[in-house]
C-alpha cells in the first residue's frame, strides 16, 4: 500500500497522560499536514511541514501540542497533558509541492480521552 | 476567520436521484476546489477537484460546477447509488497564500435503495 499511513488507528488514554501519533506520508510527497476532525465537522487545519520545516501552525495548536518531521519523511504529533476536549480524529495528509497539488489523507487516529 | 459554507447538512435521495451539494467561500489565495468523500471511520478520500480554467468538470457520475464571480461551487452526483452514501466535504484554499485547506462542515448523504 503506497498511501498515507497513520499509527495507531485508535488510542484511549486518561486525562493528563501524554500521547504520540505517527504519520508516514506518500514517499515522494514533501508536504505533510495535520488536521483534527470532531464529530459532525470538517477537518480543521493544525500544522504543516515542507520537508522538515514546520511552516505554519494554527491557533488550535496549543502549547500542549507539538509536531515534528525530523528527516522530512514521517511525522509525529504529540499531545501533552491530554484533556477531554482533545478527543477527536487526528488526520494526516501529504502532497507534492505544486500550488494545486492534491492533499491525500490517511485513515486517521481516533483519540478518546477519558 | 475564513469560512466555507456548505449546504445542506444532510440529504436523503432515492437511488437514481441527483443530489446536489453547495459550497460558498470568501477569499482564496488561488483557485483550486476539491471535494472529499468520507465513510465512517475512514479518512477523507479525494473525489474530484476543479481548477480555475473551467467552470465545470465531470468525472464519471460526479460533476463540479464552479461560479467564480459568486464564489460558489457545487457537487452533483448523477444516478446516485446506495454505495454513494457517505459524508461529502468541500474545501477551499486558505486566503493567506499557504497550502492548507478550509473545509466545509460536511453533507451527510443517504441514498435509498
Which residues in chain A have their CB less than 8 angstroms from residue B98's CB? Answer: 48, 55-56
Residue B28: pLDDT band (50, 70, 90) is confident
**Coil/strand/helix, residue B50:** strand
Q: Which of residues 52-111 of B touch A (CB under 8 A)?
A: 89, 91, 94, 98-106
The pLDDT of residue B86 is: 97
Minimal-distance CA residue of chain A relative to B50 = A100
Q: What is the pLDDT of residues A33-57, one digit of tens each?
A: 999 999 889 999 999 999 999 998 8
- Exposure string for A69-90, b = 16+ CB within 10 A, e = fewer: beeeebbebebeebeeebbbbb
How many angstroms separate the CA atoms of B53 and A61, rounded? 35
Tell me which of A10 and B1 has the higher pLDDT.
Answer: A10
For strand B101-103 and strand B86-93, is the pairing parallel, antiparallel, or unpaired? antiparallel
How many angstroms separate the CA atoms of A102 and A98, rounded? 9
| Average pLDDT score over chain B | 91
The pLDDT of residue B23 is: 96
A48–B100 CB contact, under 8 Å: yes
The pLDDT of residue A1 is: 53
B99–A40 CB contact, under 8 Å: no
Calculate how close chain A gets to B6, using CA atoms only, in Å.
10
With left for phi above 0 and alpha for psi between -120 and 50, is residue A107 left, alpha or beta?
Answer: alpha
Give the DSSP per-residue string, chain A.
Answer: --S-EEE-SEEEE-TT--EEEEEE--TT--EEEEEEE-TTS--EEEEEEETTEEEEE-TTS-TTEEEE-TTSS-EEEEESS--GGG-EEEEEEEE-SSTTPPPEE---EEEEE-
The residue whose grid cell reads 514533501 is: A30
Amino acid at each position: 500500500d503506497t498511501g498515507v499511513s497513520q499509527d495507531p488507528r485508535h488510542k484511549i488514554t486518561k486525562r493528563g497522560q501524554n500521547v504520540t501519533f505517527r504519520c508516514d506520508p506518500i514517499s515522494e510527497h514533501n508536504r505533510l499536514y495535520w488536521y483534527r476532525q470532531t464529530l459532525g465537522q470538517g477537518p480543521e487545519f493544525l500544522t504543516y511541514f515542507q520537508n522538515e520545516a514546520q511552516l505554519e501552525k494554527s491557533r488550535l495548536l496549543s502549547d500542549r501540542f507539538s509536531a515534528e518531521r525530523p528527516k522530512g519523511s514521517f511525522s509525529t504529533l504529540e499531545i501533552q497533558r491530554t484533556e477531554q476536549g482533545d478527543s477527536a480524529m487526528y488526520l494526516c495528509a501529504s502532497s507534492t509541492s505544486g500550488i494545486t497539488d492534491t492533499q491525500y489523507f490517511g485513515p486517521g487516529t481516533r483519540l478518546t480521552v477519558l | 476567520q475564513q469560512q466555507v459554507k456548505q449546504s445542506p447538512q444532510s440529504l436523503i435521495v432515492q437511488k437514481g436521484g441527483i443530489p446536489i451539494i453547495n459550497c460558498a467561500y470568501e477569499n482564496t489565495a488561488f483557485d483550486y476546489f476539491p471535494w472529499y468523500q468520507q465513510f465512517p471511520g475512514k479518512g477523507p478520500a479525494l473525489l474530484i477537484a476543479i481548477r480555475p480554467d473551467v467552470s465545470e468538470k465531470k468525472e464519471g457520475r460526479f460533476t463540479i460546477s464552479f461560479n467564480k464571480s459568486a464564489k460558489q461551487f457545487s457537487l452533483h452526483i448523477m444516478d446516485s447509488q446506495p454505495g454513494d452514501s457517505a459524508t461529502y466535504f468541500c474545501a477551499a484554499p486558505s486566503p493567506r497564500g499557504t497550502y492548507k485547506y478550509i473545509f466545509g462542515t460536511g453533507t451527510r448523504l443517504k441514498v435509498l435503495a
